[in-house]
Amino acid sequence: MVARGSTSRRTDRLSRLLSEIRSCRICIDNPKGTALPHEPRPVLQAQRSARLAVFGQAPGLRVHKTGKPFTDPSGVRLREWMGVGEDEFYDPALLAIVPMGFCFPGYDKKGGDLPPRLECAQAWRARVLRALPDLELALLIGQYAQAWHLGSDKKRTLTQTVEAWREVLARDTRPRLLPLPHPSWRNNAWIAKNPWFEAELLPELKIMVRSALNRP
């Protein structure tokens, strides 16, 4: 049995860590390459009791402005995939949202979002994961989270990674890992070309999400 004082100290450590992250300026003061083109605004949510996690890429511009994760059409679709409402999704005691990059990275020359900043995961990711020991399931949204958590395999496409979701789930990891495509509406064509995703993976996703959220 864990003493209450010990649990309280660990919770305090996570709170201090989140405060450090939210005041982080590494990508401005000590960037790898070109500095972030705007003021940092790290966006994440976490609490020690969380059993479920969403590991995504990086906030978009709308999320940067609101300071709240997935406040965009991608968030609506992701919640539909998971079978959860906003109350559960935004409850840090239930669900942690820890993207690969905590700040909106800016746009590339074609108007698309730049990749997550490398500094972010290097500085913070391992520390945040250690502070969330009760996670049972983590959803790996997109290729950057999948590469970090599953190991980089340049020959394997995102489609191949997501197709292997049963194999990934069967790995002896804590938390269990489930790869998903990004819920952006830009992936409508991908979803149409891969009907197994909605027919086979999404029903299992909803079951696993509900199991993690309902566990006492």
Q: Is the pLDDT of residue 27 over 80?
A: yes
Question: What pLDDT score was predicted for residue 154?
Answer: 63
Rg of the chain taking only CA atoms, in angstroms:
17
The dihedral region occupied by 79, where left means phi > 0, alpha psi between -120 and 50, and beta the remainder, is: alpha
In order of start, what are the domains of the chain with their CATH numbers? 4-214 (3.40.470.10)
Compute CA distances 101 → 53, 84, 150, 193, 212, whole Å. 15, 24, 17, 29, 25
Round to whole Å and give the CA distance between 214 and 50.
Answer: 11
pTM for this prediction: 0.93
| Integer Cα distance of 70 and 89 in angstroms | 10
- Of 5-14, 21-30, 42-51, where does mean pLDDT reach its minimum? 5-14
Could you tell me the two tokens for 168?
A: 């990934």
Question: Which tens digits make up the pLDDT trace of 41-89?
Answer: 999 999 999 999 999 999 999 999 999 999 999 999 999 999 999 999 9
pLDDT band, residue 152 (cuts 50/70/90): low
Q: Tell me the three-class secondary structure of the chain, residue by residue.
A: CCCHHHHHHHHHHHHHHHHHHHCCCHHHHCCCCCCCCCCCCCCCECCCCCCEEEECCCCCHHHHHHCCCCCCHHHHHHHHHHCCCHHHHCCCCCEEECCCCCCCCCECCCCCECCCCHHHHHHHHHHHHHCCCCCCEEEEECHHHHHHHHCCCCCCCHHHHHHCHHHHHCCCCCCEEEEECCCCHHHHHHHHHCCHHHHHHHHHHHHHHHHHHHCC
Tokens 């489930």, located at residue: 178
Across all residues in the chain, what is the average pLDDT? Answer: 93
Give the model's confidence band at 7: pLDDT under 50 very low, under 70 low, under 90 confident, else very high.
Answer: low
pLDDT at 112: 87
CB atoms within 10 A of CB 154: 6
Other C-beta atoms closer than 10 Å to the C-beta of 43 total: 23
